[in-house]
Amino acid sequence: MTTLTNIRGRIRTDLHDEDSQNYRWTDAELDRHAAHALRELSLAAPLEAKSTLATTAGSRDISVSSLTDRVSIEAVEFPVDKYPPVYLRFSLWQDTLTMLVDQSPGGGENVNVYYTKLHTLDATGSTLPSAMEDLLVVGSAGYAALEWASFAINRVNVGGVAVWRDYLTWGQDRLGSFLRGLARHSRKNTVRTRRLYPPLGMPENRTTVTGP
């Protein structure tokens, strides 16, 4: 399983920063750039997840605060265990999901919430698909190169006065490839079969959400 250590090593390879006695970037710096790129990847192609929450008697509202690192809510299924599944219209305001049903549910009834969330990458593993790992490395290396280019301006560098410009050009090229990769993998470019459930009577500035 791919871990943060594996990704960091691949970033160093791309940056030609493999001399452990004279690293140009610290582990913490590369981890920060990897986290930056991972977040961008997560917003373009987030992790799909499902959680079962419980209703409160007499209330159509459900707290979704427990859905950590949430990007968006895709669908709400209630009642559960029906075939075909029953998806409800719903609205979302901050951490409160409101089921737009005529009758309030009873207490303790299950509601399946389908949502997307940020990917994780740490010392134990990653949720990022293996096909997207190279893209993560490209973006991370690009951010690292731009950081170094900014740092190296007006400093004495062993490689010469143009070192910062070389890193800037290389980093911009890598980030260009990264952004093009994000566009290819973006869920916005994925054909998904979905039905629309526009909420009725939405207060101004509330979020209208669609289900599949």
DSSP β-ladder status, 70-77 and 207-208: unpaired
For residues 195-199, give the mean pLDDT: 44
Domain boundaries, the chain: 4-44+121-189, 47-117
Residue 175: φ, ψ to 5° = -70, -30
The CB-side HSE value for 47 (13 A sphere, CA atoms) comes to: 19
Q: Average model confidence (pLDDT) for the chain?
A: 86
pLDDT tens figures, 166-179: 778 888 999 999 99
pLDDT for the residue 158: 47
Gap between the Cα atoms of 40 and 89, Å rounded = 29
Choose between 108 and 148: higher pLDDT: 108
The yes-or-no verdict on residue 113 having pLDDT over 70 is: yes
